Amino acid sequence: MAHIENYLPALEYKVITSESPDKWLNYVRKAVNYDFYHTLHYHTLDKRGDPILFVYEEGETFIALPLLKRRIELVNYSDFTSSYGYAGPISNEKFELLSNSLIENFKNSFFSFMKDNQAVSVFSRLNPFINQSFLLEKIGGLRSNGRTIYMDLTQSLEEQRARYDKRLYRQIRQLRKKEYLIKEANTQEEIRLFTSMYNKNMLRLSADKSYFFDEAYFTSLLNNPDLKCTLILIYDGDEMICGSTIIWTDSIIRNHLSATSASHIHLSPSKLLTDEISVIGRTLGMKYFHLGGGVGGKEDTLFMFKSLFSDLFLKDYIWCYIADEQIYDQLVEQKKVNPDSNYFPLYRSI
């Protein structure tokens, strides 16, 4: 791979920070396709780095990429990542309609940006509903991350449920007969109880620390006017047994973070909750309910659970670009990490 300083000419770009929230939001809203993962507010919830929006403009056309800038310990270098979820670049034109010259200019401007920031690498999980791979394959570092699952809410509810695994559908009908209360959270106490249930769930699953969130995170997520988000809860009598933050943007609804109480795991109320979110999505006029995939792109037990609901899949990609291979290799060697690991960037795997 060639070093980025070999690419010429150096082209101008903009960097928008959290000090200019209106500018950031304006670019996002002008994009042909965007998601809540692209918003400044969502990136400010992630404390691993400083949020920035890289923007390249040519005439009336722009390409923007939300990122988090992170310092690399003990060296005068940085790297970039995106917040948890499906981010990647956005534009006010469909990527496949952009001219080759504009894409080449975007590439060179991004290389200049990386060099100016002494950035070693950049990571972003791409959005499967936006054709971002068309743009990023021209730069390099594109990796397959398995498959991701969605429901088509434009078909009738009967057609949707007909795609369910037969045993799953029977279980959902049984759960509905239990007359659980399904409601939106409307108090801070409910947010607090859900946060506790969620983090206990993560402990039980031995989840990575990046999957743990505090009450302030959920409160901020639910109360920000730039995000369309609510917390749906299931109660068995007075006991909260299951819940999920759901977020919808454009035509897509997602079950963002969910949890089930240990007391009711054997009854799988999350199956009822998933079915209910598809109903909510329809009332909101959404076209797709994105269920996501397995952990790390694997077709694991989580993936298999989601695939019980739908046989509709999209390819999932991640972007793992190394801007300075020499420094990258030095950092990996210093950390003494396993070079065969799939983690990116390798020097942050421990």
Output the pLDDT for position 104.
95
| Calpha distance 282→253 (Å, rounded) | 9
| Calpha distance 319→67 (Å, rounded) | 12
Mark the ranges of the chain whose per-residue pLDDT is less than 50: 1-9
The structure tokens listed for 32 are 């042909």
Q: Which helix (H) or strand (E) holds 22?
A: helix 21-30
Output the pLDDT for position 73.
87
| Calpha distance 48→50 (Å, rounded) | 7
In this structure, are residues 61 and 98 in contact, taking their beta carbons and an 8 Å threshold? yes
| Calpha distance 45→142 (Å, rounded) | 26
Output the pLDDT for position 7.
45
| Calpha distance 61→105 (Å, rounded) | 12
Output the pLDDT for position 293.
92
